[in-house]
Structure 1
Amino acid sequence: MEVDVRNERGPLWDWDALVLAAGGELDGTPEKDVFGFSLDSREISPGDVFVALKDKRDGHDFVSKAFAAGAAGAIVETQYQRKAGDGPLIRVADTLVALENIGRAARSRLAPEARVVAVTGSSGKTTTKDMLRAAFGRLGVTHAGDKSFNNHWGVPLTLARMPADTRFGVFEIGMSHGGEITPLTKLVRPHVAIVLNVLPAHLGNFVSEEEIADAKGEIFAGLEPDGVAILNQDNLHFERLRTRAQSSASRILTFGDAEGEPDAALIDCGRRARDGMEGQRILAEFPSSDTVTYQIALAGRHIAENSLAALLAVDALGGDVASAAKGLAELPALHGRGERTLLSLSRGNILLIDESYNANPASMAAAITTAGQARSDEHGRLVLVLGDMLELGDKAEELHRGLKEIIDAAKADLVFACGSNMAALYYDLPADMQGQWAATSDGLREPLLETLQAGDIVMVKGSNGSAMVPLVGALKQHHATVADDV
Structure 2
Amino acid sequence: MTPPLFTLDAILAATGGNATGVSAGEINSISIDSRELGPDALFVAIKGDRFDGHDFVDTALENGAVAALVSRGEGDGRIVVPDALGGLRDLAIAARKRSRAFVVGVTGSVGKTTTKEALRLVFEAAGETHASIKSFNNHWGVPLMLARMPETAQFGVFEMGMNAPDEIRPLSKLVRPHVAVITNIAPAHLEKLGSLDNIARAKAEIFEGLEPGGTAVLNADHPQINLLLELAAAADVGRVVTYGFARGVDWQITTPEMAADRSFATVVHEDETHALTLGVTGRHMLSNATAALVVAHLAGIEPETALRALAGFGAQPGRGQRVVVGPEDRPLLLIDESYNANTASMGAALEVFSALEAPGGRKIVVLGDMLELGEAGAAMHAGLVDAVKNSGAERVHLVGESMAALAAVLPPALLAGHYNSIGEGLDVIVADLAYGDAVMVKGSNGVGLSRVVTEVKSRFAQS
Matched residue type, 1:317: A
1:255 aligned to 2:239? no
2:262 to 279, 284, 289: 279
> Does the aligned pair in 1 maintain the 2:265–2:276 contact within 8 Å?
yes
The residue aligned with 2:381 is: 400
1:77-476 superposed matches below 5 A:
77=71, 79-82=72-75, 87-111=76-100, 114-246=101-233, 247-257=235-245, 260-273=247-260, 278-287=261-270, 290-344=272-326, 348-375=330-357, 378-476=359-457
User: Alpha-carbon deviations, 1:92-145, whole Å to 9, x = none?
Assistant: 00011111111011001012xx31111100011111101011111111111101
Q: Which residue of 1 aligns with 2:68?
A: 74
Distance between the aligned counterparts of 2:289 and 2:65, measured in 1? 38
CA distance in 2, matches of 1:314, 1:379: 41
Q: Label 1:481 to 1:130 Cα distance change in 2 as closer, same or farther (>3 A).
A: farther
Equivalent position SS for 1:330: coil
Q: Output the amino acid matched with 1:147.
A: K
CA shift, 1:233, in A, is: 1.5
> What secondary structure does 2:39 align onto?
coil
Tell me if structure 1 keeps the 8 A contact 2:7–2:25.
no
Residue type of the alignment partner of 2:269: F
Contact 1:386 1:417 in 2 (8 A): yes
Q: Does 1:64 align with 2:53?
A: no
Unaligned 5+ runs, structure 2: none
Match of 1:49 among 26, 42, 59: 42
Q: 3-state SS of the aligned residue for 2:172?
A: helix
Structure 1, unaligned stretches of length 5 or more?
1-7
Question: Which amino acid in structure 2 is aligned with residue 94 of structure 1?
Answer: D
Contact 1:345–1:479 at 8 Å: present in 2 too?
no
Shift of residue 184 of structure 1? 0.5
* 1:15 lines up with 2:8 in the alignment: yes
Over the aligned positions, Cα root-mean-square deviation in angstroms equals 1.7
Question: How many angstroms apart in 2 are the aligned matches of 1:340 and 1:392?
Answer: 28
Code of the residue aligned with 1:194 in structure 2: it is: V
**C-alpha separation between the residues in 2 aligned to 1:393 and 1:64?**
42
**Which ranges of 4 or more aligned residues in structure 1 deviate by more than 6 Å?**
none
C-alpha spacing 1:347/1:189, structure 2 compared with 1 (3 Å): closer
Q: Secondary structure at the match of 2:73?
A: coil
In the TM superposition, what is the alpha-carbon distance from 1:281 to its structure 2 partner? 2.5
- After superposition, what is the alpha-carbon deviation per residue over 1:31-56, rounded to whole angstroms, capped at 9, x for unaligned? 36311111111111231110000112
Percent identity among equivalent residues? 41
Cα separation, 2, equivalents of 1:385 and 1:322: 39
The CA deviation at 1:336 is 0.7
**Cα distance in 2 for residues equivalent to 1:359 and 1:137:** 29
The yes-or-no answer on 1:38 pairing with 2:21 is: no
Amino acid in structure 1 at the alignment position of 2:283: R
Distance 2:274 2:361 in 1: 35
Q: Deviations 1:49-94 (Å, cap 9, x if unpaired)?
A: 10000112110000011111111211001x3122xxxx52211000
Aligned residue identity for 2:237: A
Instruction: Tell me if the contact between 1:286 and 1:315 (Cα under 8 Å) persists in the aligned partners.
Output: no
Most deviating of 406-415 and 184-193: 406-415
- Distance (whole Å) between structure 2 residues aligned to residue 172 and residue 241 of structure 1: 18
Query: How far apart are the structure 2 equivalents of 1:66 and 1:10?
Result: 24
What is the TM-score when the length of structure 1 is the normalising length? 0.91
1:136–1:168: 8 Å Cα contact kept in structure 2? yes
The TM-score normalised by the length of structure 2 is: 0.96
Give the Cα–Cα distance (whole angstroms) in 1 for the partners of residues 90 and 307 of structure 2: 35
Contact 2:109 2:186 in 1 (8 A): yes
Match of 2:6, SS?
coil
- Report the 3-state secondary structure (helix = DSSP H, G, I; strand = E; otherwise coil) of the residue aligned with 1:337: coil
- What is the CA distance between 1:10 and its match in structure 2? 4.3
Q: Distance in 2 between matches of 1:71 and 1:374?
A: 48
Q: Distance in 1 between matches of 2:391 and 2:250?
A: 31
Q: Tell me how far apart the structure 1 counterparts of residues 37 and 126 of structure 2 sit (CA, whole Å).
A: 30
Partner of 1:3: none
- Whether the 8 Å contact between 2:339 and 2:445 is mirrored in structure 1 is yes
User: What is the distance in 2 between the residues matched to 1:263 and 1:227?
Assistant: 17
Q: What is the CA distance between 1:272 and its match in structure 2?
A: 3.3
2:27 match: secondary structure: coil
In the alignment, the residues of structure 1 paired with residue 360 and residue 241 of structure 2 have an alpha-carbon distance, to the nearest angstrom, of 41
- Equivalent pairs, count: 461
Opposite residue 26 of structure 1, the aligned amino acid is: A
Deviation at 1:380, TM superposition (A): 4.4
How many Å separate the matches in 1 of 2:236 and 2:104?
A: 15
SS at match of 2:135: coil
Which string of whole-angstrom CA distances, capped at 9 and with x for unpartnered residues, describes residues 205-227 of structure 1?
A: 01211111100000000111111
Counterpart CA distance in 2 for 1:443 and 1:345 is 29
Q: Secondary structure at the match of 2:26?
A: coil
Is 467-476 or 358-367 further displaced after alignment? Answer: 358-367
SS of the residue corresponding to residue 311 of structure 2 reads helix
Q: Cα distance 1:160–1:218, how it changes in 2: closer, same or farther (>3 A)? A: same
CA distance in structure 1 between the partners assigned to 2:298 and 2:313 by the alignment: 22
